[in-house]
A and B are shown apart, each in its own frame.
Chain A
Amino acid sequence: MRQLMSGNAALGEAAVLSGCTHYFGYPITPQNEITEYMARRMPGAGGVFIQSESEIAAINMVLGASAAGARTMTSSSGPGMSLKQEGISYLVADELPAVIVNMVRGGPGMGSIAGAQSDYFQATRGGGHGDYRTVVLAPASVQELTEVVPMAFDLADKYRSPVIILGDGILGQMMEPVDFDGLVRPPDYDKSWALTGAKGRPAQSIYSLIFDVKLQEEKNWKLQRKFRLIEQDEVRYETYLVDDAEMIVVAYGIGARIARGAIKRLRDEGKKVGMIRPITLWPFPMKALRELAKSVTDFFVFELSAGQMVEDVRLALEGEGHIHFYGRPGGVVPMPVELYRIISRHYYQAHADGDRKQP
């Protein structure tokens, strides 16, 4: 059944349907409706909702619940995400699954409460201390949350590692029709590592402190092997009108929606522009971009930041192709027409550039 729901509420519902039983959160705009939805929904679903006294407390409650074997989630934005970073680092080190939602708002500092994409670096580079990455999923519509949320819980359990859902204020606040009928609850994984009391088994523990640097290095290589495996197997992206494209837009989340609107107009004028939309920001679709660079010379990166994902595009293309960029930081959301004009200009320039090296 289709119903009109905000991204925040739909995310909460999708989490419950994915088997999340423990939610901890602290209010912060623009994600308050997740916290409020869970407060209403969890008791009836046999789950636990706790409003923590801070984001630091919330992420540590998540850590405890996860260590005890529960499917668990927290959500936040801006300053609250900064506070959670220490806890996320511990979750990685302890190899504990968890889903952490960031409905990104403009920063830095208190920033704005408008939707933004300025936490790309924080999310994809680890964010806290230590040598680690987390899977980062970037949904672009309320309906897509019904795929991304179960995927997040599944990947978290499968790899025993925290997974970040990187939305934005607009996705959280916007209402769209959504249908949960197709949502598949991820399977249950073996959690014999969980701390349940040493009844009928030897005592076990979860910790990240390793004084012996050799053992610490070994532990780090083990984590890195896991990350390489994720890079190999878990890349997800969507392409749009790339087959005959002469210019490819790279955009994600709300940015990809705006880009789609712009591309429609460009296509109406016969301009051959397509798009690749990463759904996993880490692991980033490196190979797919390199593959596209065999037939396309121009890549146009669009994000609601001063330029963060563009660095991954550069890394992916390894010097191939020409990279164009347009970004708006601080929570400004340009309209599709505005982006259309800017892409048009770059498209003409690319064409006029006679000495452009052919792929």
Chain B
Amino acid sequence: MLTKAIISGSGGQGVLSMGSTLATAAMLEGRYVTYLPSYGVEVRGGTANCAVAVSDEEIASPVASSPEVVIAMNQPSFVRFQGALQSGGLLCANSSLVHTETARSDIEILAVPTSELAEQLGSIKVANMIMLGALVRASSMISYDAMVENLAEILGKGRAKLLDLNKRALAVGHDYTKD
């Protein structure tokens, strides 16, 4: 099965690293995967987005014009990408910053107050990992257990010190979604 996700937010919210973390996790699980970041003038203005495709067979196009999943970490991203979502698709919104009242009625909404949850964990920087935990729980893109198991390799040496914090952040998102 092929699933495409658009992950979007403002610069500094870690949306590109959320995308590459998801993609690396999928790769380590042995799935086919592509990751395509937005680039050029688009990112210079302070917003960022990327498209991640995960599949059991070779992926034709890395472009996601009508994705199954949209993650909106801020309001402009929500406004921009909810229209692209497939009917019946999943919209994960950072409800600390996104007002979902105007959401389409034919999609599923997962509202996670990631900014607040991250502050409770002691670092606003892990809001993205909280959202990732929630996404993995709510969609069948990749396996949560495999991601947690491979987390050290996914984060790489550079972020080894942050392993524990990231693990906790994933769990917070995952557990929040369970409720």
Contact = CB atoms under 8 A, between A and B. Distances in A.
A184 interface: no
B40 A175 contact: no
B23 A4 contact: yes
Interface in B29-54: 33-37, 39-41
Interface stretch (B59-67, B99-107, B141-149, B170-178): B59-67
B155 interface: no
B41 A173 contact: no
A175 B63 contact: no
B83 to A, nearest CB: 16
B39 A30 contact: yes
Interface stretch (A37-45, A188-196, A256-264): A256-264
A173 B27 contact: no
Contact of B61 (A113, A175, A177, A261): A261
Contacts of A335: 61, 63, 65-66
Interface of B: 20, 23-24, 27, 33-37, 39-41, 58-63, 65-66
Kindly name the residue among A2, A4, A173, A259 whose own CB sees the greatest number of chain B CB atoms within 10 A.
Answer: A4
Given A4-B20, A175-B35, A175-B36, A333 B41 contact: no
Nearest to B21: A4
Contacts of B24: 4
Contacts, number: 57
Given A4-B23, A4-B33, A260-B58, 5 more contacts: A2-B27, A170-B62, A176-B62, A257-B59, A335-B63
Contacts of A113: 39-41
Interface string A235-264: 000000000000000000010011111101
15 contacts: A2-B27, A4-B33, A29-B39, A29-B40, A30-B39, A173-B36, A174-B35, A176-B33, A177-B27, A254-B61, A258-B61, A335-B63, A335-B65, A336-B60, A336-B61
Nearest to A262: B60
Contacts of B66: 335
Given A2-B27, A4-B35, A170 B63 contact: yes
Contacts of A173: 36-37, 39
Nearest to A338: B65
B23 A333 contact: no
A333 B58 contact: no
Contact of A260 (B39, B60, B62): B60
Q: How large is the interface on A (under 10, 10 to 19, 20 to 34, 35 or more residues)?
A: 20 to 34
B39 A175 contact: no
A176 to B, nearest CB: 5
A179 to B, nearest CB: 11
Contact of B23 (A30, A175, A261): A175
Contacts of B61: 254, 257-258, 261, 333, 335-336
Contacts of B41: 113
Nearest to B66: A335
Interface in A113-136: 113
Contacts of B40: 29-30, 113
B33 A177 contact: yes
Nearest to A256: B60
Contacts of B59: 257
Contacts of A257: 59-61
A328 B127 CA distance: 39
A88 to B, nearest CB: 25
A257 B62 CA distance: 9
A54 to B, nearest CB: 20
Contacts of A177: 27, 33
A175 B33 CA distance: 8
B169 to A, nearest CB: 21
A336 B59 CA distance: 10
B60 A170 contact: no
Interface string A10-33: 000000000000000000011000
Interface in A149-187: 170, 173-177
Contacts of B60: 257-262, 264, 336
Contacts of B27: 2, 4, 177
The 4 lowest CB-CB distance pairs between A and B, nearest first, are A261-B60, A175-B35, A113-B40, A29-B40
Contacts of A29: 39-40
Nearest to A254: B61
A311 B90 CA distance: 44
A29 B37 CA distance: 13
A105 to B, nearest CB: 9
A221 to B, nearest CB: 45
Nearest to B62: A174
The listed residue with most B CB atoms (<10 A of its CB), out of A113, A175, A258, is: A175
